[in-house]
Each structure stands twice: as C-alpha cells, then as structure tokens.
Chain A
Amino acid sequence: MAAVLESLLREEVSVAAVVRWIARSTRGSEVTALTRPQDNPGEAAALSSLRPLRKEFVPFLLNFLREQSSRVLPQGPPTPAKAPGASAALPGRPGGPSRGSRGARSQLFPPTEAASTAAEAPLARRGGRRRGPGPARERGGRGLEEGVSGENLPGAGGRRLRGSGSPSRPSLTLSDPPNLSNLEEFPPVGSVPPGPAGTKPSRRINPTPVSEERSLSKPKTCFTSPPISCVPSSQPSALDTSPWGLGLPPGCGSLQEEREMLRKERSKQLQQSPTPTCPTPELGSPLPSRAGSLPDEPADPARVSSRQRLELVALVYSSCIAENLVPNLFLELFFVFQLLTARRMVTAKDSDPELSPGVLDSLESPLFQSIHDCVFFAVQVLECHFQVLSNLDKGTLKLLAENERLLCFSPALQGRLRAAYEGSVAKVSLAMPPSAQAVSFQPETDNRANFSSDRAFHTFKKQRDVFYEVLREWEDHHEEPGWDFEKGLGSRIRAMMGQLSAACSHSHFVRLFQKQLLQMCQSPGGAGGTVLGEAPDVLSMLGADKLGRLWRLQERLMAPQSSGGPCPPPTFPGCQGFFRDFILSASSFQFNQHLMDSLSLKIRELNGLALPQHEPSDEDGESDVDWQGERRQFAVVLLSLRLLAKFLGFVAFLPYRGPEPPPTGELQDSILALRSQVPPVLDVRTLLQRGLQARRAVLTVPWLVEFLSFADHVVPLLDYYRDIFILLLRLHRSLVLSQESEGKMCFLNKLLLLAVLGWLFQIPTVPEDLFFLEEGPSDAFEVDTVAPEHGLDAAPVVDQQLLYTCCPYIGELRKLLALWVSGSSGRSGGFMRKITPTTTTGLGAQPSQTSQGLQARLAQAFFHNQPPSLRRTVEFVAERIGSNCVKHIKATLVADLVRQAESLLQEQLVTQGEEGGDPAQLLEILCSQLCPHGAQALALGREFCQRKSPGAVRALLPEETPAAVLSSAENIAVGLATEKACAWLSANITALIRREVKAAVSRTLRAQGPEPAARGERRGCSRACEHHAPLPSHLISEIKDVLSLAVGPRDPDEGVSPEHLEQLLGQLGQTLRCRQFLCPPAEQHLAKCSVELASLLVADQIPILGPPAQYRLERGQARRLLHMLLSLWKEDFQGPVPLQLLLSPRNVGLLADTRPREWDLLLFLLRELVEKGLMGRMEIEACLGSLHQAQWPGDFAEELATLSNLFLAEPPLPEPQLRACELVQPNRGTVLAQS
C-alpha cells in the first residue's frame, strides 16, 4: 500500500488514476467529479501490479493519516474510527504508544497482529503518552447500551478484523495479515524505541489542559480584519504576540500523573458499573489545574514544510471521501477538523522545522511535521468538501467562517463559508421541552366495549394509573444519584404486568406504552415532542411567547452534554431510558411479544405511508407553504419510525445479547444454523428492497439503521441480514454527493443517509471487515430502478434540523470548533440540537383500501394527472366524512332506537310488575324488535355522505379548480365516503344497536332499583327563579340541629324560637320550589326530616327558647307549623314523603312521654292528611291497627285505642269532627281550651 502512496508522491501516477484504481474495485469505471477520464497506460501498469492490494488502500490511507497525526492530536476530542487492517503502522514507529488490550480497542485501524500481541505490549513504554484507558472506555461504551448488558467487555476491545477479509466468509476470526508491516515498504522513521510491531497511537484521548489565555486568541478579530492582507508570512496576529510559539514539552510530569490518576479513576468506574452511562468525560473533562500551562501553537502558512506532498495526499484523501470509499464521512470530517484545530505538536524533536522541505519523495519523513502542516492539510481537504460544509448548520458555519486558521490558510474558502453562513437558514434549534403528557383516553378504543370483561376493563383502568405513577416517579428520581430503576420500580412494574392476564389486556397496555413512547421520545433528547398534537400552535395562539422564551432559556441552562463523540453507541437518551428500563424490569415475554407485534405493525404502517412526493410541475402554486408542512410531516414520520425501530431492535435482539464475547468456530456455526431458522421479527429485507425500488431510501434506511444498531454479534453473519448489509453498502457507495441531477436523491437526503450509515458501520457488532468487502459492482443496485418517476428520495424532505436530530453526533464538529474558540474543553455541552416535531396527527389520510373495479381504476386515472394535493384532499374528505357519517348514525338513528328501547322497557316493566323479568330475556325481546330498523342506517348513511362531502371538497380545493375536475373530485369523495361508511355500517350496525340497547337496559334497570318514584317527571324551577333559595345541605343541617335539640341531650339554655321554626319551613318551601341545587337523596332526607319534625311538633317535644314559662309551643303555633308542613308535603315535595312514619311506634311513642298526653294535634294531622289526599283512610287505619300490636304502657294503649276508634268512627268532615273529638275527651280539658 505504501508503494501506491509513494508512487503517488513521486508523481509516478496521478491522483485521478489512483482514485480510479481504488474506485474500480467497487464502482466499475465510473468517473467522478474529482477524477479525469484519461488513463495513462504507464500509470495503469504501475498500479496493476498492485492490484491484489487495491482494496486495502483506503484502510491503509486512513490509518496512515491517523498515524501521521498522532503527535499533533494528543488532546482534544478523539477521532474514533474503525477500519480494519491495512496498517500504516511501522514497527516501533515513534508516536505509537503502546497500550493494554483495552487500549487496542481504541486503535484506529488496528494492524493485523493478533490482539494478544498488542495486549502483551508494555503498558507504558512512554508513560506520558499512554492514553489507553480513556479511549478504551469510550470504545467500550459504544459496545452496548447502558443497562442492556455488559457487552463492553474489555475483550471486545481487542477485536480486529482484516479489512479485506473474504466476503464469503465474514467470520470474526482473524485472517492472515498481509505483509503490511513489511519493513521495506514501511521503513522505520526516526528514533525507534523497540517494541512490538504495529502498536498504534490512540486517537481518542485525553484531557485537554485548559488554557486561560484564550481571550488573546479571540477569533472574532479575524472577521473584522481585512481578510487577505493579514495573511501568511507576516502574520503576527494576536496569536503570535504571545510567547507560546515554543509550546511546552508535552508529557511533563504532572500531566502524566494526572492522566494516570484519571485512567485509574475511569477503570474503577468501569468496574463499578459495567454500563458506563456516558462517555462524555472524554471530551469534556477539563483539567483546570493545568490551565494555561500548554498554550496553543500558532499556525503559519509560510511554514508549511512540504506543500506538494500534503496537497497530493489531501487530494487522494478527499477523493476517497467524495467517492464514499471511507466508512464514515463525518468521522473523516471530524478528523480533519481536529487537524485544523490542533493545538501543538507533542514531541518537540519531531516538529523539527528544518527537516528538509524537499523530502517529498517518500514516506520516510513524517507527513505532518508541524502544526502548520496539519492545518494546511486540513484546509486543503476542507476546500474539496465545501459543499458538505455549506450544508452544515448555521452555528457550525459561523464557527468555521470565523476560524482564524482557516482565514490564514485559505481566504477564498473562508469567503465562501462566510457567504454560506450569511445565506444559511439552517438554524438548528431545540424546541420546547414540555414535561411528559399522558396519552389521552379515547372512548372508541378505551371504553368498556373494547374489553372482554368488566374485570379486564377495571384491571386496565388500574394499570394505566400505575403506569403513570411509575412514570412520574421515574421523572422525579431518575436523576438522583443512587436511585436505581429496578430497585425503585421493578417490583411494582412486575406486579402490574402480572395482572395483565388476558391477551387482550396486553394489547391494550402495549398500545398505551407505544403511544406514550411516541409522545415522549420523538426527539433525541427525549424531552421534546410530548405535545404532538396541535398543542404548540395552541400555545402560540395563547400568546405564550413568554413561555417560549422561558423554554429557550431553560434550553440554554439544561443543554445536554456531549452525545458521546462522533460515533456514539446506540443509546436511550432522556425519556427513552424509562421505556427501556421498563421493558427490562418487566421482563415479561408476553409483553415483549405484544410489543414487537405492535411496533412491527406501526412500522409497516408508517413506512408505507403515502408521503408527499416532489413534483416539479407543482411548484409555482403550492410552493413553500405546502413544503414546510410536508417536510414536517416527513420528519415526524421518520422520527417516529426511528424510535419504533430502535425499540423493536432492542426487544427483538434482547434475548441474544449478553456480556459474553461473540462465539467462534463450531459454536458459532451451530448458533448460525439455529438462528438462520428463526424468521425475522419484521421482514426488513423486503422492506428495504421495496424502499430502494420505490426510491424511498431516505425514509426506510434511517429507521432500518436504528433497528440494526441493536443487532447482536451473530446477526450480521446470518444470510438474511448479510443481504441487508450488502444492500446498504451498495447504497452507501452510490450516494456520491457531488453527483446531483434531476430526479436523483437530494443532497441533504444523501447526507442524512451517509451519516446514519456511517454511524452504523461503526457499531461494534457490525463486523469491521464488512465495509471494505470487495463485493460485486454497485451496478446491481443501480439496475433495479424501475422506480416511480419521482420517489421520495428526490424530494427535499430532509433539512438540517432533521439531519441533526437524527444524527446529533454531527454536532460534534461544531463542538470541536467551539472548543477551539473557547480554548477550553470545558464547554463541551450545549451544542447538541434537537427538534421537536410538531405534529403526529397530520400523518395524512390513508389511501382507501377498498377501491376495486372499473370505477376505482377510473378514479385512479383521474388523479394521475392532477396535483397530488387533490388526491390527498379527496381521500381526506372521504375518510373524515365516512367516519363522521358513522358517528352521525350513532347519534341519531341508534339513539332513537335506544329511546324506543327505553320506553318499550318501561312498558314491559309496568306490565310485568316490579319484578321486571330476566334482563337477558328483556334484551332479546327488545333487540328482536329494534335491530331490523338498523337497515335504515345504510340509506341514511348514503344520504349523509351525499350531503356532506361535496361541500368539504369544495372548501378545501383551490377556487380555481376547473368545474369538471371539481365535480369529479366531489363525486369520488362521495363515493369513497359512502363506501367507507356503508362498509362499516353493514358490518356493525346490528352489533352496535345491540350494545347500546344493552347498556340502556342495564341503565334503566339500575335506575329502577332504589328509588322508583324518582323516575317520575320532575318539575324544574320556574323560569323567573334566580336560584337564591337556601341550599338543601344547609337546610338539612339546620333541621338536623332542631332534631338533635329536641331529642336531646341539651343544655338548659338551648332551644329554638317559634319564629325560627317558621322561617325554617319557609326556607324549606323555597328550596323545594327552586330545584336548582336539589338532588334526590337530599330531597328524600328533607322529606324524612320534615316528617320527624311533624312528629316532634305533634308530641310537643320541641324545646322553645324564651322565658321558662313558655317552654312549650303554643297549640296555635303548632297547628300553623303543621299546616305549613302539610302544604309542603302536598305542594312542594316531588319525591315520596314517608308520612307513614308519623304513625310509626317510635314517633307515636313520643306522645307517651308527655304529661299530660295531648292527642288533638295528631288527630288534626291525620285528618288533614286524609283531606289533602296525602294519605288514604285505609292506609291510616292499617297503620293505627299495627300500632296496637306494639308494647305500650296500659293507659297509653287505652288512649291510643280511643283515638283509633275516634278516627275510624268519624265521617270525613272537617271542623265538627275536630270539636267532637275534643268533646268526647273531656278529661283533656286543656286541649279544648287551647284549640
């Protein structure tokens, strides 16, 4: 490999030829923008001899660059990378610090020796340079998601693969290394400490000592200073005024010590938790104590050592990037940015400036001899990728444009970037982060009718509440140190899951779980996106601008930390962690199965959604407004899909993942044999193939990547998934950014796919050799484009917001630049951006599934030449009207039938008497009478759709729609709506009527029970009533007080005044006449209390306030009060009054206690009752008769008998009888006197 590079450097072959040579291995003879189509035979000859090594060139080149830069980038964020074999490392090369086995994990492009070799390497050949642990941890962190399993075992770190491992047998075993460590090809350079071959510098690293003097290198000054004149040689800018040019020798003792301490600390953390939560400290751990001790080296274009050589390498490198020959575009950019922002050379002796600028012709001298070289190289590469840069977010562009090094080295590029910045609208911002909101209860899916039994319904009711209780508790505590999900919530979750016995309950719960997941977690941070409906709009309409500002402020304060480097492991950030932990804690296979079913279904549904397609013809009319909405819709669908797919992958591969290392040899074969029998949880291969064919890769691939990122080690070895990876690889190669043409994929769409695929290729479970497979040409992929004219891929559906949301790690670029500006690694957070999708409800109408036959084909044809918005509108209207139609039928026809059922039921009950009869039987009778009426539903439904659809279509289509088009659209809408409604109605109307009637029957029967009288017609209060009457509760309370006074015990000074009693009864009348606040139980109690009061009056038991002499109520007053009561009973009570209580033994017995006994009031009352028709004579007779059976004192029984006889003997005439009564009882002289 080095030979290729060398011949290139010696200008024996041209860059173009080299790139062609490399690319041919994968892309046939396609010509790219950066290469020229002429093939020099000499070059070809020179290269053809190297053919077998061709596929190893790219890994070699990447490793070579990393190796070369090792001395420049000892600090700052790491450049992780994963490319196999083809090491550029030379045995004992300087700058190749050795590391432990874990360190090897972090090796960029590991050499081909067995891992053990590296592991045996002296741990700290050069102590100060040792930086194994930090990176190792990060790498380990990528190994698996926290909490998932401890897969980040150190052993995994040692895994290395040959870049060109034979594609047919992609095993994890190591194949023979090529002779890459050949000393002839890679002659050692400089002083070579002895050591095992192939040890490599780590790119990941290392705390960056903070420099406090950053204020001196404010980049802003560059912007205000003249762009060009200030350039090269005479560049004593602010930077050079400082004395840091020399740079302190690195590796000074204290720094070493700190690193050592840090290393220990980290390994301790690693041991404590096998699941490092976040690798951020790698990036962000500043060491304030070192602040200012290691200043930056200024970069000077004039001091670049070997321009030509750097230019050549930069060009080859750029070409490889442009051709997608590197696995991860953004990783390479990250590396280049690191070079651009490198602070200083590590070893002073190597940065020897006088090392001949003329030594171009070999690899013997280091490629980067100084910071100047690095920056020069970086700028060269960046110039080739301006297009990508210009599509980064505005913040990154700003930082780039303001970068003083970039300005010095390429004012032209700086100018373009600045222009790009000024023209950019790609402000990626964090949207509102409201707290969790619950999934709303929808009667259609959640009410009793959707459950098999009352028990299931009520169990689910409880479960919903437990679920949210758990969620709230998690919200409150999960950030507290020491809080543990499993410990805190595990048993409660399992208890809840244990109650989900019925399969139907599981599906209900899974639906809730999935909806809540979508609501809470669509944005990467997991905070946003809770209000997916119209809520944000509502808030803005409410003028919640202040709220928005508050949230933005909060966003600043709570900006998430680093996403974990440019290649973070798959994680469950924010709220997603809750759902992951919930699944783990529940550990219920039923739940997991239902969840997978549900997730798969939803993924299929969303993936197949008819999303808007780009139509060039349409652009004048439905321009930006439409596109904004459609882009948003796409974003919502895409983010939902990614989330669902991530969880599907997590659950589906959960049983196969474990902390143990991937199996090898026979064990692996048997596992493969077994696993290949298992059908995939979701047929992702077919979905991918279809997606590619339909040119919907931009939708399908991002979620597929999420799904695959949770695959276990075996998955990529299975034929089924291998096919998928090969398809993805071909897609990756085909996404050449510089090739843009009409109908092909949009730039940002490509960028998104490159980013997610690049990320996937870095996932530890994806074999490292996979990328550099020499598979068949990508033509195979290009062939199957029998695609629709304009697939989704060609539509500008991706914007920066979505790009950064899906790939927050792209934000690491910006962070790197900001780090450079701030001069401190402390500012590592705050740049990650995320968006909140604003709607899920706008998922659009599903195309009607029912269209068959000629009419349907005609309708399809009609839409073919119309703008798609027309079709969407018609489908939408049909869908809504159809659904409304069903609701309307329910509210009218069915409601009428239910009312009929109720009256029929009443009749039944009357004829059958109190008992009613068997409810089931009643229901059958009613249904047999009513269900036939359901047939009307279809006619009514047709009429409804006919009436409603045209207006809706007309309102939604443009005014200018031609009349014929309009009427066709209306007719189709009517047809579709009718079809939909009638299909539902004919299938369900009988069941619906049955269900509603059943509910009505049970309602009626229930109401029947306790208070039959309450069912009677009730009078409301009069229209003029202002509802100022005393409240019933107040009256009951007052009367109760009187009763308690009367019954005693009471203090001597307690009593009531007759006026108070009168007032009370007056108020009672008012309350009974104003029925606003009166409820039946209150009226019942008032009635009963009034009867008790009457009894106490009759028995003269009410203690009257006043002078002791007047301790008893006057007879006249008593009669007046009784009259009032009689009138209330007669006129005002609407419920039954238990008047028979007046003659209950207890109340009559009250008379027994009075001396002398006075019967006149009782007799008076009985007579009045009869007269007013409140009680029948017979009824009273019966009551009096039963009174005789009670045990009474002798004289009392006698008097009672007399009263009884008197009452019975009297003819029903008012006044004379009373007197007669009094006269017959002369011994009660007082009675007469008082009356």
Chain B
Amino acid sequence: MILTKAQYEEIAQCLVSVPPTRQSLRKLKQRFPSQSQATLLSIFSQEYQKHIKRTHAKHHTSEAIESYYQRYLNGVVKNGAAPVLLDLANEVDYAPSLMARLILERFLQEHEETAPSKSVINSMLRDPSQIPDGVLANQVYQCIVNDCCYGPLVDCIKHAIGHEHEVLLRDLLLEKNLSFLDEDQLRAKGYDKTPDFILQVPVAVEGHIIHWIESKASFGDECSHHAYLHDQFWSYWNRFGPGLVIYWYGFIQELDCNRERGILLKACFPTNIVTLCHSLA
C-alpha cells in the first residue's frame, strides 16, 4: 500500500483529535474503504502518537495532574462503576492508558510511603489486579482495553505483529534459498547494530544491491522513516552497505528517495530478485 504524500495527508487530516477507541477505528474504515485496515490502523496509531508527543507535556504539569486526580476522585465517589477515567481521558484529549498511568502514579504517591518505581507501575498496568484499590483497578483496566494506541496490550500486539512479519520474511528468504544471518546470530557475533537479516551473499532488487533486509510492520510515514533512517537504516548502511527496508503496511512514495544511496523501500517482499550466478563463467 504505497501512498502518495497527498493521499497520506488526506487520511492524516481525518485523524486530527480523534480519540483512540474502537469506534473511531470503525469510522475510519468506513471513510477509506479502499485502504487496508492494517494500514489505516498503523497510520492512525502513528498520527495519534505524534499528537500525544506534542501535547504530552501539558498533561504532566503538577496542576494538570492534580486536577485530573480530583476529577477522578469526585467521579468514582459518585459512581465507581461508571467509566470515569476513560471519559476523563477522552474529554481532555489524552490517551486513556496514559491517563490511567498518571492517576495510578498519583494514587500510589498518596497511599504508599515511598514513590512508586516505574517497574511497579508497569507491572500494575499489565495486571491491574495488583492495584490495591479495586475501583481504580477496574478503571485502569477499562482504560487499557479501550485504548487502541497505547498500553501494555497494544504494545504486545505491535510486538507480535513485528515478530510475525520477521518470521514471514524469514520463511520467504528460506523459500528463495537465500542464506542469511538473523539478528540473534549477529548479536551473538558481537555486531553493534543488527538489521533483521544480513544476506550472506548479496542480491540485486530492481538494479540495487541488497546486503541486508529490515522488516517494518508499520506504515512508513515521514516522521517514523526519518527516525528509522537515523537510528537504524543509515547505521546498517554504514556497516554493511546498501540494503532493503520492507514496510509491510506501506509507505509514502516520496520517501523512497535514497535508492541510489543504498536504501531501497518496498511494501512487500520483492518479486524479482537477482542472485549471483556462480555458473556464468
């Protein structure tokens, strides 16, 4: 699903200030029926994360936290079974999971002698049963299962998707008889930067030499692509030469501009792979 920048922006336009709920997703799918759901979800998720990054700070002022906490307390006093926390998050345009974390932190500060460690918080978010307050546990759980962009469950889904595509890619490489070293093998050898796969014998795709392949189970938008270029792709190039990035959920066409420089983008496993023929002589 390769989109032009214009197409991408049309979609992104519809996502401004949309809460990350399953209802929003459903509407988005209706609005762009021709796009794949995975692509839409990926774009949605990325756009939403960008939005949260921009507004993150204002929710973390002590005044804001205090006011959220008071609203939460007032809300649950009135009705502990109502979706107090979720509504609050949606109302102030913040991710429910992050709001849950915020309130949980604040709650623990009040009820424990020592400030809660990050790992304790994370563990409680993963398993709200550990939260000492039953009402808060339910509220937190509700936030987490209703958030489609943040939270431990979403993180796990993203991780699983990434893993699945790596496996998929590995299978395709095996099927094509291309021998490779995977990330674990590379790490064991002490490589400091490890793409998903390094081909032991380079191949050519559309006339470009490929030494390594990186699988990205997301949509390649400008922001994430530039971050990846800086943190990963150029680093791979710096060590292993030119390579291929597969954005399984598509990318913005205009970003595929470093082909000559040694970074090729594809939205699927390439079909025409030219391999080195030993029998030419």
Contact = CB atoms under 8 A, between A and B. Distances in A.
A446 B191 CA distance: 8
B191 A441 contact: yes
Interface string A431-453: 00001011011010011110000
10 contacts: A440-B240, A443-B189, A448-B192, A461-B192, A465-B238, A472-B261, A1031-B161, A1037-B157, A1077-B168, A1082-B159
B192 A1041 contact: no
Interface stretch (A19-27, A48-56, A119-127, A1044-1052): A1044-1052
Given A438-B239, A441-B191, A538-B202, 7 more contacts: A435-B262, A464-B238, A1031-B160, A1077-B163, A1081-B159, A1085-B153, A1145-B129
B16 to A, nearest CB: 23
Contact of A1082 (B160, B191, B230, B234): B160
B197 interface: no
Contacts of A1174: none
Interface string B166-193: 0110010000000000000000011111
Nearest to A466: B238
B57 interface: no
Given A1043-B145, A1047-B146, A1146-B141, A443 B190 contact: yes
Contacts of A443: 189-191
Contacts of B83: 1048-1049
Contact of B237 (A438, A467, A542, A547): A438
A1153 interface: yes
Contact of A1033 (B22, B81, B126, B157): B157
Given A1138-B127, A1141-B129, A1146-B129, A1036 B241 contact: no
A538 to B, nearest CB: 6
Contacts of A1027: 171
Interface stretch (B3-11, B63-71, B273-281): B273-281
Contact of B145 (A1047, A1145, A1149): A1047
A457 B192 contact: yes
Contact of A1146 (B134, B167, B238, B274): B134
Contacts of A1088: 126-127
Contacts of A440: 239-241
Given A447-B190, A465-B234, A1051 B138 contact: no
Interface string A1176-1219: 00000000000000110000000000000000000000000000
A441 B128 contact: no
B145 A1044 contact: yes
B198 to A, nearest CB: 10
Nearest to B129: A1144
Nearest to A1039: B153
A468 B128 contact: no
Interface in A365-389: none
Contacts, number: 140
Interface of A: 435, 437-438, 440-441, 443, 446-449, 457-458, 460-461, 464-465, 467-469, 472, 538, 541-542, 547, 1027, 1031-1033, 1036-1037, 1040-1041, 1043-1044, 1047-1049, 1051, 1076-1077, 1079, 1081-1082, 1084-1085, 1088-1089, 1138, 1141, 1144-1147, 1149, 1153, 1190-1191
Contacts of A468: 234, 237-238
B114 interface: no
Interface on chain A toward B: helix, strand, loop, or mixed SS? Answer: helix
A1047 B191 contact: no
A541 B192 contact: no
B260 interface: yes
Contact of B157 (A464, A1036, A1047): A1036
A469 B230 CA distance: 9
A1180 to B, nearest CB: 16
Given A472-B261, A541-B276, A1147 B129 contact: yes
Contact of B160 (A464, A1033, A1043): A1033
B207 interface: yes
Interface in B68-122: 81, 83, 86
B142 interface: yes
Nearest to A449: B190
A1051 B153 contact: no
A548 B47 CA distance: 44
Nearest to A1080: B163
B152 to A, nearest CB: 8
Contact of B141 (A447, A538, A1047, A1145): A1047
B277 A541 contact: yes
Interface in B232-267: 234-235, 237-241, 260-262
A868 to B, nearest CB: 26
Nearest to B280: A541
Contact of B241 (A437, A449, A464): A437
Contacts of B142: 1044, 1047-1048
B204 interface: yes
A438 B263 CA distance: 13
